[in-house]
Structure 1
Amino acid sequence: DDRRERNNNRRSQHGPVSGGDIISEQRGAIISETRGGFIGIGTDQRIALMQRYLALFPAASIELLLADREFIGAQWMDFLNENNIPFAIRLKEDMTLNLANGTTWSFRTLLRRKRVGGTAIWEGRLNGTTGATSQPLRIAAKRLADKQVLIVATNQPEARQALNLYRRRWGIECLFGDAKTRGLNLEDTRIKNPRKLDCLLVVVTLAIIWAYRCATRVMGMKAIPRKTHGRRQKSWFRLGFDSLRQWIINDQPKAASAWSDAAPIRLLIPLHSR
Protein backbone atom coordinates (compact mmCIF):
# COMPACT_ATOMS: atom_id res chain seq x y z
CA ASP A 1 0.00 0.00 0.00
CA ASP A 2 0.98 3.66 -0.01
CA ARG A 3 2.58 3.62 3.45
CA ARG A 4 4.61 0.56 2.56
CA GLU A 5 5.82 2.06 -0.71
CA ARG A 6 6.85 5.31 1.01
CA ASN A 7 8.70 3.50 3.77
CA ASN A 8 10.45 1.18 1.35
CA ASN A 9 11.81 4.25 -0.44
CA ARG A 10 13.23 5.67 2.80
CA ARG A 11 14.90 2.66 4.32
CA SER A 12 18.15 2.89 2.41
CA GLN A 13 18.79 6.50 3.42
CA HIS A 14 17.33 7.01 6.90
CA GLY A 15 18.27 5.65 10.26
CA PRO A 16 15.38 4.42 12.41
CA VAL A 17 16.35 1.09 13.93
CA SER A 18 14.23 -1.53 15.59
CA GLY A 19 14.45 -4.63 17.75
CA GLY A 20 17.22 -7.05 16.88
CA ASP A 21 18.02 -5.31 13.60
CA ILE A 22 20.19 -2.20 13.59
CA ILE A 23 20.14 -0.09 10.44
CA SER A 24 22.77 2.64 10.05
CA GLU A 25 21.54 5.76 8.29
CA GLN A 26 24.85 6.38 6.57
CA ARG A 27 25.96 2.87 5.74
CA GLY A 28 22.84 0.74 5.44
CA ALA A 29 24.52 -1.93 7.57
CA ILE A 30 22.42 -4.51 9.38
CA ILE A 31 23.68 -6.34 12.45
CA SER A 32 21.67 -9.29 13.76
CA GLU A 33 22.19 -11.56 16.75
CA THR A 34 20.82 -15.12 16.59
CA ARG A 35 20.34 -17.47 19.51
CA GLY A 36 19.54 -21.03 18.46
CA GLY A 37 17.55 -19.84 15.47
CA PHE A 38 15.73 -16.97 17.21
CA ILE A 39 16.46 -13.25 17.40
CA GLY A 40 17.81 -12.45 20.90
CA ILE A 41 15.49 -9.96 22.60
CA GLY A 42 16.70 -9.93 26.21
CA THR A 43 18.20 -6.78 27.69
CA ASP A 44 21.71 -8.23 27.79
CA GLN A 45 21.47 -9.34 24.16
CA ARG A 46 20.17 -5.95 23.06
CA ILE A 47 22.96 -4.12 24.84
CA ALA A 48 25.59 -6.50 23.43
CA LEU A 49 24.15 -6.05 19.95
CA MET A 50 24.26 -2.27 20.22
CA GLN A 51 27.80 -2.40 21.57
CA ARG A 52 28.81 -4.36 18.46
CA TYR A 53 27.27 -1.63 16.33
CA LEU A 54 28.95 1.18 18.27
CA ALA A 55 32.31 -0.55 17.87
CA LEU A 56 31.90 -0.10 14.11
CA PHE A 57 29.95 3.15 13.75
CA PRO A 58 29.47 6.28 15.89
CA ALA A 59 26.24 6.85 17.78
CA ALA A 60 25.67 9.90 15.57
CA SER A 61 24.98 7.55 12.66
CA ILE A 62 21.64 6.66 14.31
CA GLU A 63 18.99 9.31 13.78
CA LEU A 64 16.43 7.49 15.90
CA LEU A 65 16.02 4.03 17.41
CA LEU A 66 12.47 2.70 17.18
CA ALA A 67 11.30 -0.26 19.26
CA ASP A 68 8.04 -1.99 20.05
CA ARG A 69 6.70 -3.01 23.46
CA GLU A 70 8.87 -6.15 23.46
CA PHE A 71 11.99 -3.98 23.79
CA ILE A 72 11.40 -2.05 27.00
CA GLY A 73 13.26 -1.88 30.30
CA ALA A 74 14.92 0.73 32.51
CA GLN A 75 18.40 -0.79 32.09
CA TRP A 76 18.06 -0.77 28.29
CA MET A 77 16.86 2.84 28.16
CA ASP A 78 19.59 3.95 30.56
CA PHE A 79 22.16 2.33 28.27
CA LEU A 80 20.77 4.22 25.27
CA ASN A 81 20.81 7.48 27.23
CA GLU A 82 24.38 6.98 28.43
CA ASN A 83 25.53 6.36 24.85
CA ASN A 84 23.66 9.36 23.39
CA ILE A 85 21.39 7.21 21.24
CA PRO A 86 18.04 8.92 20.55
CA PHE A 87 15.06 6.61 20.83
CA ALA A 88 11.29 6.35 20.60
CA ILE A 89 10.08 3.16 22.29
CA ARG A 90 6.48 2.05 22.64
CA LEU A 91 5.34 1.26 26.18
CA LYS A 92 2.72 -1.00 27.72
CA GLU A 93 -0.43 0.47 29.19
CA ASP A 94 0.09 -1.21 32.58
CA MET A 95 3.55 0.32 33.12
CA THR A 96 3.97 3.04 35.74
CA LEU A 97 5.58 6.47 35.75
CA ASN A 98 7.12 8.40 38.65
CA LEU A 99 6.14 12.03 38.13
CA ALA A 100 8.13 15.04 39.35
CA ASN A 101 5.60 15.70 42.15
CA GLY A 102 6.47 12.34 43.74
CA THR A 103 3.33 10.46 42.70
CA THR A 104 3.35 7.22 40.73
CA TRP A 105 0.65 6.37 38.21
CA SER A 106 -0.01 3.65 35.67
CA PHE A 107 -0.58 4.85 32.12
CA ARG A 108 -3.96 3.12 32.17
CA THR A 109 -5.01 5.43 35.01
CA LEU A 110 -3.49 8.54 33.47
CA LEU A 111 -5.32 7.88 30.20
CA ARG A 112 -8.65 6.84 31.68
CA ARG A 113 -10.47 9.98 30.56
CA LYS A 114 -8.45 10.71 27.45
CA ARG A 115 -10.55 10.98 24.32
CA VAL A 116 -9.70 9.47 20.94
CA GLY A 117 -7.22 11.58 18.97
CA GLY A 118 -5.96 13.79 21.79
CA THR A 119 -2.31 13.64 22.85
CA ALA A 120 -1.12 13.59 26.47
CA ILE A 121 2.44 14.55 27.45
CA TRP A 122 4.29 13.70 30.68
CA GLU A 123 7.84 13.69 32.01
CA GLY A 124 9.12 11.33 34.66
CA ARG A 125 11.11 8.23 35.53
CA LEU A 126 9.78 5.07 33.96
CA ASN A 127 9.49 2.03 36.22
CA GLY A 128 10.81 -1.30 34.99
CA THR A 129 11.33 -4.77 36.45
CA THR A 130 14.75 -3.75 37.83
CA GLY A 131 13.82 -0.25 39.00
CA ALA A 132 13.19 3.14 37.46
CA THR A 133 15.19 4.87 34.74
CA SER A 134 18.04 6.95 36.15
CA GLN A 135 17.03 9.98 34.07
CA PRO A 136 13.53 11.37 33.42
CA LEU A 137 12.02 10.53 30.05
CA ARG A 138 9.40 12.34 28.05
CA ILE A 139 6.24 10.36 27.35
CA ALA A 140 3.58 11.00 24.72
CA ALA A 141 0.34 9.02 24.51
CA LYS A 142 -2.68 8.94 22.23
CA ARG A 143 -5.88 6.90 22.24
CA LEU A 144 -6.40 5.49 18.75
CA ALA A 145 -9.62 5.04 16.82
CA ASP A 146 -9.62 1.28 17.50
CA LYS A 147 -9.56 2.07 21.26
CA GLN A 148 -5.95 0.94 21.61
CA VAL A 149 -3.46 3.27 23.27
CA LEU A 150 -0.17 4.31 21.69
CA ILE A 151 2.36 5.31 24.38
CA VAL A 152 5.90 6.28 23.37
CA ALA A 153 8.88 7.10 25.59
CA THR A 154 11.74 9.20 24.27
CA ASN A 155 14.93 10.87 25.44
CA GLN A 156 14.43 13.65 22.90
CA PRO A 157 13.06 17.13 23.75
CA GLU A 158 9.84 16.83 21.74
CA ALA A 159 7.69 13.92 22.91
CA ARG A 160 4.90 14.76 20.47
CA GLN A 161 7.33 14.58 17.56
CA ALA A 162 8.60 11.20 18.79
CA LEU A 163 5.00 9.94 18.80
CA ASN A 164 4.63 10.95 15.16
CA LEU A 165 7.99 9.48 14.16
CA TYR A 166 7.14 6.16 15.77
CA ARG A 167 4.77 5.58 12.87
CA ARG A 168 7.83 4.94 10.73
CA ARG A 169 8.18 1.62 12.48
CA TRP A 170 5.62 0.40 9.95
CA GLY A 171 8.45 0.40 7.41
CA ILE A 172 10.39 -2.05 9.56
CA GLU A 173 7.36 -4.35 9.74
CA CYS A 174 7.27 -4.23 5.94
CA LEU A 175 10.96 -5.14 5.89
CA PHE A 176 10.22 -8.23 7.99
CA GLY A 177 7.40 -9.16 5.61
CA ASP A 178 9.72 -8.78 2.61
CA ALA A 179 12.22 -11.12 4.24
CA LYS A 180 9.59 -13.65 5.31
CA THR A 181 6.04 -14.42 4.18
CA ARG A 182 5.68 -11.82 1.41
CA GLY A 183 9.09 -12.33 -0.13
CA LEU A 184 12.11 -14.47 0.63
CA ASN A 185 10.46 -16.97 3.03
CA LEU A 186 13.28 -16.73 5.56
CA GLU A 187 11.31 -18.69 8.15
CA ASP A 188 11.20 -21.75 5.90
CA THR A 189 14.87 -22.44 6.53
CA ARG A 190 15.80 -25.51 8.55
CA ILE A 191 19.17 -24.08 9.50
CA LYS A 192 19.68 -24.06 13.27
CA ASN A 193 23.38 -23.28 13.59
CA PRO A 194 23.65 -19.61 14.72
CA ARG A 195 26.75 -18.90 12.60
CA LYS A 196 25.09 -20.31 9.49
CA LEU A 197 21.95 -18.32 10.26
CA ASP A 198 24.08 -15.17 10.46
CA CYS A 199 25.40 -15.92 6.96
CA LEU A 200 21.87 -16.53 5.69
CA LEU A 201 20.72 -13.18 7.10
CA VAL A 202 23.54 -11.45 5.24
CA VAL A 203 22.42 -13.06 1.97
CA VAL A 204 18.78 -12.10 2.62
CA THR A 205 19.82 -8.53 3.43
CA LEU A 206 21.78 -8.21 0.19
CA ALA A 207 18.88 -9.68 -1.79
CA ILE A 208 16.41 -7.16 -0.33
CA ILE A 209 18.73 -4.24 -1.06
CA TRP A 210 19.21 -5.53 -4.61
CA ALA A 211 15.44 -5.76 -5.07
CA TYR A 212 14.99 -2.17 -3.86
CA ARG A 213 17.64 -0.97 -6.29
CA CYS A 214 15.92 -2.82 -9.13
CA ALA A 215 12.64 -1.09 -8.25
CA THR A 216 14.43 2.26 -8.33
CA ARG A 217 15.92 1.32 -11.71
CA VAL A 218 12.42 0.60 -13.04
CA MET A 219 10.59 3.58 -11.53
CA GLY A 220 13.26 6.27 -11.31
CA MET A 221 11.59 9.25 -9.65
CA LYS A 222 8.04 8.05 -10.38
CA ALA A 223 5.63 6.49 -7.92
CA ILE A 224 4.06 3.08 -8.46
CA PRO A 225 0.58 3.59 -10.02
CA ARG A 226 -2.53 3.00 -7.95
CA LYS A 227 -5.41 0.67 -8.74
CA THR A 228 -9.03 1.80 -8.66
CA HIS A 229 -9.35 0.88 -4.96
CA GLY A 230 -6.53 3.32 -4.15
CA ARG A 231 -3.72 0.92 -3.32
CA ARG A 232 -0.49 0.59 -5.25
CA GLN A 233 -0.30 -2.03 -7.99
CA LYS A 234 2.70 -3.56 -6.23
CA SER A 235 4.85 -2.82 -3.22
CA TRP A 236 8.29 -1.35 -3.84
CA PHE A 237 9.89 -4.66 -2.84
CA ARG A 238 7.60 -6.82 -5.01
CA LEU A 239 8.22 -4.66 -8.07
CA GLY A 240 11.98 -4.86 -7.58
CA PHE A 241 11.99 -8.55 -6.68
CA ASP A 242 9.96 -9.53 -9.75
CA SER A 243 12.22 -7.40 -11.96
CA LEU A 244 15.36 -8.89 -10.43
CA ARG A 245 14.22 -12.46 -11.05
CA GLN A 246 13.30 -11.63 -14.64
CA TRP A 247 16.62 -9.90 -15.32
CA ILE A 248 18.71 -12.68 -13.76
CA ILE A 249 17.10 -15.14 -16.20
CA ASN A 250 16.86 -12.95 -19.31
CA ASP A 251 19.20 -9.97 -18.91
CA GLN A 252 22.05 -10.56 -16.45
CA PRO A 253 23.95 -7.33 -17.31
CA LYS A 254 20.85 -5.30 -16.42
CA ALA A 255 20.55 -7.09 -13.07
CA ALA A 256 24.22 -6.42 -12.35
CA SER A 257 24.01 -2.75 -13.31
CA ALA A 258 21.01 -2.26 -11.02
CA TRP A 259 23.33 -3.21 -8.15
CA SER A 260 26.45 -1.36 -9.23
CA ASP A 261 25.24 1.79 -10.98
CA ALA A 262 24.31 4.97 -9.14
CA ALA A 263 20.58 5.14 -8.43
CA PRO A 264 18.50 8.33 -8.56
CA ILE A 265 17.97 9.94 -5.17
CA ARG A 266 14.28 10.12 -4.38
CA LEU A 267 12.90 13.04 -2.38
CA LEU A 268 12.76 12.33 1.34
CA ILE A 269 11.47 14.11 4.43
CA PRO A 270 14.22 14.33 7.09
CA LEU A 271 13.38 13.09 10.58
CA HIS A 272 14.08 16.44 12.20
CA SER A 273 11.59 18.27 9.97
CA ARG A 274 8.60 16.10 10.94
Structure 2
Amino acid sequence: MLGQPLQMLGHSFYVAASRLKDELLIVVTNKNPKKAVSIYKTRWEIETLFACLKTRGFCLEDTHLTYPDRIEKLIFALSIAFCWAYKLGNIAANVVPISIKKHGRKAKSLFRCGLDKIRKILLGTPRCFNLFLWLLKLFDPLLSSSIPKRVFL
Protein backbone atom coordinates (compact mmCIF):
# COMPACT_ATOMS: atom_id res chain seq x y z
CA MET A 1 0.00 0.00 0.00
CA LEU A 2 1.26 3.42 -0.88
CA GLY A 3 0.64 5.68 2.10
CA GLN A 4 1.06 8.88 0.14
CA PRO A 5 -1.49 9.80 -2.51
CA LEU A 6 -0.37 9.81 -6.11
CA GLN A 7 -1.27 12.62 -8.49
CA MET A 8 -2.38 12.25 -12.08
CA LEU A 9 -4.17 14.79 -14.27
CA GLY A 10 -5.03 16.84 -11.21
CA HIS A 11 -6.56 13.93 -9.27
CA SER A 12 -5.27 12.29 -6.09
CA PHE A 13 -5.48 8.53 -5.62
CA TYR A 14 -4.01 5.71 -3.56
CA VAL A 15 -2.84 2.27 -4.61
CA ALA A 16 -3.44 -0.74 -2.37
CA ALA A 17 -2.51 -4.33 -3.14
CA SER A 18 -2.95 -7.82 -1.77
CA ARG A 19 -1.18 -11.01 -2.77
CA LEU A 20 -3.59 -13.72 -3.83
CA LYS A 21 -2.74 -17.35 -4.46
CA ASP A 22 -1.11 -16.90 -7.87
CA GLU A 23 -1.53 -13.22 -8.59
CA LEU A 24 -1.54 -9.72 -7.20
CA LEU A 25 -4.78 -7.81 -6.60
CA ILE A 26 -4.28 -4.07 -7.12
CA VAL A 27 -6.97 -1.58 -6.08
CA VAL A 28 -6.82 2.10 -6.99
CA THR A 29 -8.98 4.36 -4.84
CA ASN A 30 -9.54 7.93 -3.77
CA LYS A 31 -10.64 6.76 -0.29
CA ASN A 32 -8.85 5.20 2.70
CA PRO A 33 -6.28 2.79 1.21
CA LYS A 34 -6.15 0.69 4.40
CA LYS A 35 -9.72 -0.52 3.83
CA ALA A 36 -9.64 -0.63 0.02
CA VAL A 37 -8.90 -4.34 -0.42
CA SER A 38 -11.46 -5.52 2.17
CA ILE A 39 -14.13 -3.25 0.66
CA TYR A 40 -13.27 -4.57 -2.80
CA LYS A 41 -13.68 -8.17 -1.59
CA THR A 42 -17.18 -7.33 -0.35
CA ARG A 43 -17.97 -5.64 -3.65
CA TRP A 44 -16.74 -8.70 -5.54
CA GLU A 45 -19.27 -10.90 -3.70
CA ILE A 46 -22.03 -8.58 -4.92
CA GLU A 47 -20.64 -8.78 -8.47
CA THR A 48 -20.85 -12.57 -8.25
CA LEU A 49 -24.54 -12.28 -7.30
CA PHE A 50 -25.21 -9.94 -10.22
CA ALA A 51 -23.41 -12.30 -12.61
CA CYS A 52 -25.72 -15.12 -11.48
CA LEU A 53 -28.75 -12.88 -11.89
CA LYS A 54 -27.65 -11.91 -15.38
CA THR A 55 -25.59 -14.29 -17.51
CA ARG A 56 -25.04 -17.36 -15.34
CA GLY A 57 -28.59 -18.31 -14.58
CA PHE A 58 -31.56 -15.98 -14.61
CA CYS A 59 -30.85 -13.77 -17.68
CA LEU A 60 -32.22 -10.69 -15.93
CA GLU A 61 -31.28 -8.39 -18.80
CA ASP A 62 -33.42 -10.39 -21.23
CA THR A 63 -36.55 -9.08 -19.49
CA HIS A 64 -35.92 -5.57 -20.89
CA LEU A 65 -37.72 -4.07 -17.88
CA THR A 66 -37.36 -0.32 -17.51
CA TYR A 67 -39.78 0.61 -14.72
CA PRO A 68 -37.85 0.88 -11.42
CA ASP A 69 -40.65 -0.61 -9.28
CA ARG A 70 -40.89 -3.68 -11.52
CA ILE A 71 -37.12 -4.09 -11.60
CA GLU A 72 -37.05 -3.86 -7.80
CA LYS A 73 -39.69 -6.59 -7.45
CA LEU A 74 -37.95 -8.83 -9.95
CA ILE A 75 -34.57 -8.43 -8.24
CA PHE A 76 -36.25 -9.22 -4.91
CA ALA A 77 -37.75 -12.44 -6.31
CA LEU A 78 -34.53 -13.43 -8.09
CA SER A 79 -32.50 -12.82 -4.93
CA ILE A 80 -34.70 -15.28 -3.06
CA ALA A 81 -34.36 -17.75 -5.94
CA PHE A 82 -30.58 -17.25 -5.86
CA CYS A 83 -30.45 -18.06 -2.13
CA TRP A 84 -32.64 -21.11 -2.71
CA ALA A 85 -30.41 -22.38 -5.53
CA TYR A 86 -27.23 -21.68 -3.56
CA LYS A 87 -28.50 -23.48 -0.46
CA LEU A 88 -29.62 -26.50 -2.47
CA GLY A 89 -26.31 -26.53 -4.34
CA ASN A 90 -24.48 -26.51 -1.02
CA ILE A 91 -26.53 -29.46 0.23
CA ALA A 92 -25.99 -31.34 -3.04
CA ALA A 93 -22.23 -30.68 -2.98
CA ASN A 94 -22.01 -32.09 0.55
CA VAL A 95 -23.63 -35.31 -0.69
CA VAL A 96 -21.81 -35.56 -4.03
CA PRO A 97 -18.81 -33.22 -4.26
CA ILE A 98 -18.56 -31.04 -7.36
CA SER A 99 -15.73 -32.20 -9.61
CA ILE A 100 -12.61 -30.07 -9.87
CA LYS A 101 -11.27 -29.17 -13.32
CA LYS A 102 -7.61 -29.21 -14.33
CA HIS A 103 -7.21 -25.49 -13.59
CA GLY A 104 -8.24 -26.14 -9.97
CA ARG A 105 -11.71 -24.60 -10.04
CA LYS A 106 -15.00 -26.37 -9.56
CA ALA A 107 -16.81 -27.56 -12.69
CA LYS A 108 -19.97 -25.81 -11.45
CA SER A 109 -20.65 -23.17 -8.83
CA LEU A 110 -22.87 -24.04 -5.86
CA PHE A 111 -25.47 -21.71 -7.37
CA ARG A 112 -25.38 -23.44 -10.78
CA CYS A 113 -25.53 -26.89 -9.19
CA GLY A 114 -28.58 -25.90 -7.14
CA LEU A 115 -30.29 -24.14 -10.04
CA ASP A 116 -29.84 -27.21 -12.22
CA LYS A 117 -31.41 -29.37 -9.48
CA ILE A 118 -34.39 -27.01 -9.12
CA ARG A 119 -34.89 -26.91 -12.89
CA LYS A 120 -34.75 -30.71 -13.10
CA ILE A 121 -37.35 -31.04 -10.35
CA LEU A 122 -39.72 -28.39 -11.67
CA LEU A 123 -39.57 -29.70 -15.23
CA GLY A 124 -39.66 -33.34 -14.18
CA THR A 125 -42.47 -35.81 -13.73
CA PRO A 126 -45.48 -35.28 -11.45
CA ARG A 127 -43.65 -37.46 -8.91
CA CYS A 128 -41.19 -34.60 -8.58
CA PHE A 129 -43.84 -32.48 -6.85
CA ASN A 130 -42.90 -34.04 -3.48
CA LEU A 131 -39.31 -33.01 -4.11
CA PHE A 132 -40.51 -29.49 -4.86
CA LEU A 133 -42.29 -29.41 -1.49
CA TRP A 134 -39.08 -30.63 0.12
CA LEU A 135 -37.21 -27.76 -1.53
CA LEU A 136 -39.65 -25.27 -0.03
CA LYS A 137 -38.72 -26.58 3.42
CA LEU A 138 -35.22 -25.20 2.88
CA PHE A 139 -36.64 -21.75 3.62
CA ASP A 140 -38.14 -22.64 6.99
CA PRO A 141 -35.49 -22.79 9.72
CA LEU A 142 -37.78 -24.88 11.91
CA LEU A 143 -38.17 -27.50 9.20
CA SER A 144 -34.60 -27.43 7.93
CA SER A 145 -33.37 -29.60 10.81
CA SER A 146 -35.69 -32.35 9.58
CA ILE A 147 -34.24 -32.34 6.06
CA PRO A 148 -32.73 -35.74 5.37
CA LYS A 149 -29.13 -35.74 4.18
CA ARG A 150 -29.82 -37.82 1.07
CA VAL A 151 -33.26 -37.39 -0.44
CA PHE A 152 -32.67 -37.15 -4.15
CA LEU A 153 -29.25 -35.65 -4.58
Coarse TM-score class (shorter-chain normalised)? 0.5 to 0.7
Tell me how far 1:182 sits from its aligned partner.
1.1
Corresponding residue number in structure 1 for 2:150:
none
- 5+ residue gaps, structure 1, are 1-118, 133-137, 264-274
1:181 corresponds to which letter in structure 2? T
Q: 2:4 aligns with which of 118, 122, 128?
A: 122
Tell me how far 1:222 sits from its aligned partner.
8.5
- Equivalent residues in 2 for 1:72-111 (5 A)? none
Corresponding residue number in structure 1 for 2:59:
185
Q: 2:47 aligns with which of 170, 173, 176?
A: 173
Larger % of helix: which? 2
Q: Deviations over 1:157-182 (max 9, x none)?
A: x71x5325523433222211100011
Q: What is the CA–CA distance in structure 2 between the aligned matches of 1:243 and 1:169, rounded to whole Å?
A: 28
Question: Is 1:260 equivalent to 2:137 in the alignment?
Answer: no
Question: Is 1:150 equivalent to 2:27 in the alignment?
Answer: yes
Q: What is the CA–CA distance in structure 2 between the aligned matches of 1:200 and 1:257, rounded to whole Å?
A: 22
Over the aligned positions, Cα root-mean-square deviation in angstroms equals 3.7
TM-score, normalised to structure 2's length?
0.64
Between the two structures, name the one with larger relative contact order (CA 8 Å, sep ≥ 6): 1
Moved more, 248-257 or 186-195: 248-257
Q: Deviations over 1:122-175 (max 9, x none)?
A: 37xxx98xxx9xxxxx9443499x9x96213545xx71x532552343322221
Query: SS state of the match for residue 259, structure 1?
Result: coil
- 5+ residue gaps, structure 2, are 146-153
Give the direction of change, closer, same or farther, for the CA distance of 1:221–1:121 in structure 2 (3 Å limit): farther
Tell me how far 1:235 sits from its aligned partner.
0.9
Query: SS state of the match for residue 120, structure 1?
Result: coil
Number of aligned positions between the proteins = 130
Give the direction of change, closer, same or farther, for the CA distance of 1:228–1:189 in structure 2 (3 Å limit): same
Larger % of strand: which? 1
Q: Deviations over 1:221-240 (max 9, x none)?
A: 98633123322110121011
Q: Deviations over 1:55-74 (max 9, x none)?
A: xxxxxxxxxxxxxxxxxxxx
TM-score, normalised to structure 1's length?
0.39
Q: Deviations over 1:91-128 (max 9, x none)?
A: xxxxxxxxxxxxxxxxxxxxxxxxxxxx31237xxx98
Q: Deviations over 1:217-268 (max 9, x none)?
A: 21349863312332211012101111122233422122112232448xxxxx
Question: Is 1:163 equivalent to 2:37 in the alignment?
Answer: yes
Query: SS state of the match for residue 98, structure 2?
Result: coil
Question: Is 1:141 equivalent to 2:16 in the alignment?
Answer: yes
Q: What is the CA–CA distance in structure 1 between the aligned matches of 2:68 and 2:132, rounded to whole Å?
A: 32
